[in-house]
Chains A and B, each alone.
Chain A
Amino acid sequence: MSARGSALQRRRARAGRLFVLPNLAALLVFMAFPLGYSLYLSFTRSDLFRPATFVGITNYRQLFADPLFGIALRNTVVFTVGSVLPTVLISLGIAALLNRKLKGIAIFRTIIFVPLAVSAVVMAVVWQFVFNTDNGLLNIMLGWLHLGPVPWLVDPHWAMVSLCLVSVWKGVPFATVVLLAAMGGIDENLYEAARIDGAGELRRFFAITVPLIRAALSFVVIISTINAFQAFDQVYVLTGGNGGPESATYVLGIMLFQHAFGFGEFGYACALAWVMFAILLVLTGLQLRRGRQEDT
């Protein structure tokens, strides 16, 4: 290596470190440090006004004995299953529909993906209007069929259904975009060959499309599960900061917010956050392993 070459390399290495520095510093201050600090806080009793005191696993023990944690966990699981499963199934169908070469399909894609631009907060306010018991659109439409009125957001059972419905509406476009992109990558010749062999439309879909987009399906399931498990915005706005009615929508995200920013119990809230993180890691790991096993 010539002297000029290594001087050049040193200069480029120095520039590299310098260019990374601001971004790295932000990462350390706002991500890496908080990660470690929240783990530490979860073993302390700490709030807004007193310094943290180490209490071992007391927070975790308290959390697992807390009946509200049981309720929140149960609600979160119901919400996650009740929103992710319909989201994936519906978006699979819509992606198959949008994958066809029809005249004007681009316009339909544009319209169907519009909810992507809608924030969880605006969406929740708009859906409150749609769900409204006395004069909401859904009950007006049910009235035409001589049904209802359904107390969408007032009745504990219906509130969870409403919450899932809103999340499906918001989640389907995202999942559809991902699945559609994966479907676009499938070789046309495969379908042609199957058609010549006499495979019908449904058969082609389940024998070719679904297996070939399994990676994308797995990605959609993981991301949707992670988001649903931590849901906060739409719950807070749709049914209120207490997870009402009668704690029917009291999910883990609401519980964390209440303890951290309502009661100022940082240690307890951090313990909850780490339990949520651990559950998510296990779920993601299982899903990834299942995906790998299916591949072999």
Chain B
Amino acid sequence: MRTPPPRTERTIRRSLLRATALYCALIVVAWCALFPILWALSGSLKTPAEIGRSNLLPAQPQWSNYTEVFSLMPFWRMFANTVLYAGAVTAGQVFFCSLAGYAFARLPFRGRNTMFLLYLSTLMVPLTVTVIPQFIIMRVLGWTDTPWAMIVPGLFGTAFGTYLMRQFFAGLPADLEEAAVLDGCSPWRIYWRILLPHTTPALMVLAVLTWVNVWNDFLWPLVMIQRPSIATLTLGLVWTQGQHVSRWPVLMAASILMLAPLIILYMVAQRSFIRGITMTGMGGR
């Protein structure tokens, strides 16, 4: 063992200097992450004349920019639509993926492994390849420009969700359900009453990821929906941006309104958020 060096004035000053440098670096990085959002927040409260100036705090906060958003686009209608789509898809995804994940992990049947290989192979398929046939399917069903197009494709769960849940169910100890199986308890009861309560962390991760994906989705609503009355917030924002070019205060107010719910979700469910990202790679979208 090495004896610790005596804490002379020089070493203290050096470690102090190091800590200061580290905190400075952290503050710079944090500023880089936040400044576009803060700048948008600031812009949403400025007058059009004030937009070109560098002050972060508006001279006189213009809350009317926010009320103007509501008159330029049916904001609350689109908000409700987005909540409906995200809520339905998230509920369906969590239920059907956990059900299938339970079966893949705990209920052996013939062809199960082959089937799971099919699941794994579809994980690689990019949206680019499937979006055109999916569009055609919606046309054939007559669902384009209806809420069904936004809900049904995601309602019964995805391969990724099932894969995630399978891994989690497989990791639960076997003796959790052993007694119940021997007692003749039905697989449904075992799933619903005994195992599901133990999977809450995984369910949270899946729910958060799904909610964020639907909330932020753009390409699918863009090709599916024309009517403002059933549009999502992303569509509404892009339409408003197209019609009111350079009306920055109002556009920033709309952006902040759209951003706020997800930032709140992130603050509340940060752990699930971060865990979901380490497990997937939804990041780029």
Q: Interface on A for B, CB 8 Å cutoff?
A: 8-9, 11-17, 19-20, 22-27, 29-35, 37-38, 41, 94, 97-98, 100, 102, 105, 108, 110-123, 125-130, 132, 134-135, 137, 140-141, 167, 169-175, 177-178, 181, 196, 219, 223-224, 226-228, 230-233, 236-237, 253, 256-257, 260-261, 266, 269-270, 273-274, 276-277, 280-281, 284
A200 to B241, CA, bound (A): 52
Of A15, A19, A34, A97, which is within 8 A of B133 by CB? Answer: A34
The 9 nearest A-B residue pairs measured at CB? A174-B283, A227-B284, A16-B107, A135-B52, A119-B216, A34-B133, A26-B156, A223-B281, A15-B187
Q: Are B266 and A11 in contact (CB under 8 A)?
A: no
What residue in chain A is nearest B223 (Cβ atoms)? A261
What residue in chain A is nearest B125 (Cβ atoms)? A35
Question: Which residues of the partner chain A approach B159 to less than 8 Å between Cβ atoms?
Answer: 27, 31
- Report the minimum CB–CB distance from B92 to chain A (whole Å): 9
Question: Which residues of the partner chain B approach A114 to less than 8 Å between Cβ atoms?
Answer: 33-34, 37, 263, 266
What residue in chain A is nearest B234 (Cβ atoms)? A121
A167 to B136, CA, bound (A): 31
A169 to B29, CA, bound (A): 11
Q: Are B266 and A169 in contact (CB under 8 A)?
A: no
What residue in chain B is nearest A252 (Cβ atoms)? B128
Q: Are B251 and A16 in contact (CB under 8 A)?
A: no
Of A8, A17, A273, which is within 8 A of B181 by CB? Answer: A8
Binds A, one of B58-66, B69-77, B98-106: B98-106
Across chains A and B, the number of contacting residue pairs, with CB separation under 8 Å, is 286
Q: Are B252 and A129 in contact (CB under 8 A)?
A: yes
Question: Which residues of the partner chain A approach B6 to less than 8 Å between Cβ atoms?
Answer: none
Question: Which residues of the partner chain B approach A27 to less than 8 Å between Cβ atoms?
Answer: 118-119, 122, 158-159
Q: Are A31 and B34 in contact (CB under 8 A)?
A: no
Question: Which residues of the partner chain B approach A30 to less than 8 Å between Cβ atoms?
Answer: 130, 134, 137, 153
A26 to B154, CA, bound (A): 8
Q: Are B284 and A19 in contact (CB under 8 A)?
A: no
Question: Which residues of the partner chain B approach A173 to less than 8 Å between Cβ atoms?
Answer: 33, 283
What residue in chain A is nearest B241 (Cβ atoms)? A125
Q: Are B22 and A97 in contact (CB under 8 A)?
A: yes
Q: Are A23 and B99 in contact (CB under 8 A)?
A: yes
B:146-194 near A, CB below 8 Å:
153, 155-159, 162, 181, 184, 186-188, 191
The number of chain B residues touching the other chain, given as a range, is 35 or more
Q: Are B30 and A140 in contact (CB under 8 A)?
A: no
Q: Are B255 and A126 in contact (CB under 8 A)?
A: yes
Main secondary structure of the interface of A (DSSP, over half): helix
A251 to B270, CA, bound (A): 33
- Report the minimum CB–CB distance from A168 to chain B (whole Å): 10
User: 1/0 contact trace for B250-285 toward A, CB 8 Å?
Assistant: 011001001100110111001001100110011111
Known pairs A12-B107, A114-B34; A260 contacts B132 (CB<8 A): yes
- Report the minimum CB–CB distance from B154 to chain A (whole Å): 8
Q: Are A22 and B122 in contact (CB under 8 A)?
A: no
What residue in chain B is nearest A112 (Cβ atoms)? B33
Known pairs A117-B265, A237-B238, A256-B128; A102 contacts B19 (CB<8 A): yes
Q: Are A126 and B40 in contact (CB under 8 A)?
A: yes
Question: Which residues of the partner chain A approach B135 to less than 8 Å between Cβ atoms?
Answer: 260-261
A177 to B281, CA, bound (A): 10
Known pairs A30-B134, A102-B22; A125 contacts B237 (CB<8 A): yes
Q: Are A232 and B219 in contact (CB under 8 A)?
A: yes
Max chain A CB contacts within 10 Å: which of B32, B132, B263, B285? B132
